[in-house]
Amino acid sequence: MRIAVLGGDGFVGWPTALHLSNLGHDIHIVDNLSRRWIDTELGVQSLTPMDSIQERCRIWHQETGKRIHFHLLNLAEEFERLKSWLAEMRPDAVIHFAEQRAAPYSMKTDRHKVYTVNNNTNATHNLLAALVETGIDAHLVHLGTMGVYGYSSVGAPIPEGYLDIQIETPDGPREQQVLYPTRPGSVYHMTKSLDQIMFQFYAQNDGLRITDLHQGIVWGTHTDQTRRHEQLINRFDYDGDYGTVLNRFLIQAAIGHPLTVHGTGGQTRAFIHIQDSVRCIELALRDAPQAGERVRIFNQMTETHRVRDLAELVARLTDARVAYLPNPRKEADENDLIVRNDQFLALGLEPITLADGLLTEVVEVAKKYAHRIDRSRVPAVSAWTKDIAKRVEHDPEGKRLRSVS
The catalytic site residues sit at 145, 188, 192
Of 182, 196, 215, 234, the one binding ligand NAD (CB under 6 A) is 215
Smallest separation (angstroms) from ligand NAD to the CB of 365: 16
Q: Which residues, in sequence order, are CB contacts of 190 under 8 Å at separation 6+?
A: 117, 184
Smallest distance, ligand NAD to C-beta of residue 174, A: 34
DSSP string, 50-63: PPPHHHHHHHHHHH
Is 145 among the residues that bind ligand NAD (CB under 6 A)?
yes
Interface characters, 98-137, with ligand NAD (x: CB under 6 A): xxxx-----------------x---x--------------
160 binds ligand NAD (CB under 6 A): no
Give the whole-angstrom CA distance, residue 323 versus residue 345. Answer: 36
Binding mask 59-88 for ligand NAD (x = CB under 6 A): ---------------xxx------------
Cβ(5)–Cβ(281) under 8 Å?
Answer: no
CA distances from 275 to 12, 50, 75, 222, 224 (A): 9, 19, 26, 7, 8
Q: How far is 228 from 240, CA to CA, in rounded Å? A: 29
| Residues in contact with ligand NAD, shown as a per-residue x/- string from 220 to 249 under the rule CB under 6 A | ------------------------x-----
Tell me which residue of 104, 112, 150, 101 sits closest to 379, measured CA to CA: 104
Buried b (16+ CB within 10 A) or exposed e, 59-84: bbeeebebebebbeebbbeebeebbe
Minimum Å distance from CB 144 to ligand NAD? 7
Which alpha helices (H) appear in 181-244, and where do they start and end?
Answer: 187-206
Q: Is 19 in the site for ligand NAD (CB under 6 A)?
A: no
What is the contact mask toward ligand NAD in residues 273 to 312, using x (rule: CB under 6 A)?
----------------------------------------
Q: Which of 13, 104, 240, 263 is in the footprint of ligand NAD by CB under 6 A?
A: 13
Residues that bind ligand NAD (CB under 6 A): 7, 9-13, 31-35, 74-76, 97-101, 119, 123, 143, 145, 215, 217-218, 244
